[in-house]
Amino acid sequence: MSATGRLFAVAAFLEALTWAGLLVGMLLKYGTGTTDLGVWLFGRLHGAAFLFYVVVSLYAGVRLRWPLWALLVALLAAIPPLVTVPVEMWFRRIGLLSQPAPAGAQAST
């Protein structure tokens, strides 16, 4: 995996982690009515992690020469909760997080 791919993996994990924290915070605030500290804290952390993930996704898409569909999937994955990690795992499996071949390189037959 390339350095850019590792950065994307970290951003995907942080985005999902803060989503999970925000969901727990919302459960505590609206479900049990005990505290709103989780929403206050993880709302801010998730906002920052979301923006970081979007910027890193755009950077990785350009740097790793992703097809347009992959960039759109990466960006859309940030909207529903906890989807960035499965998308990152899928991208890793299909090789999108590896350094692309140089533009002039041809596969030998």
Q: What is the pLDDT along the chain (109 residues), one digit of tens a residue?
A: 889 999 999 999 999 999 999 989 889 888 888 888 878 888 899 999 999 999 999 999 999 999 999 999 999 999 998 999 999 999 999 999 987 756 655 555 4
> Where are the chain's structural domains?
3-93
Q: What's the confidence (pLDDT) of residue 36?
A: 82
What letter would DSSP give residue 102?
A: P
Q: Within 13 Å, how many C-alpha atoms sit on residue 47's CB side?
A: 5
| Cα distances (angstroms) measured from residue 32 to each of 10, 35, 103 | 32, 8, 56
Listed in sequence order, the DSSP H helices in 27-101 are 37-63, 68-76, 84-93
Enter the pTM of the model.
Answer: 0.84
Are 15 and 84 within 8 A, CB to CB? yes
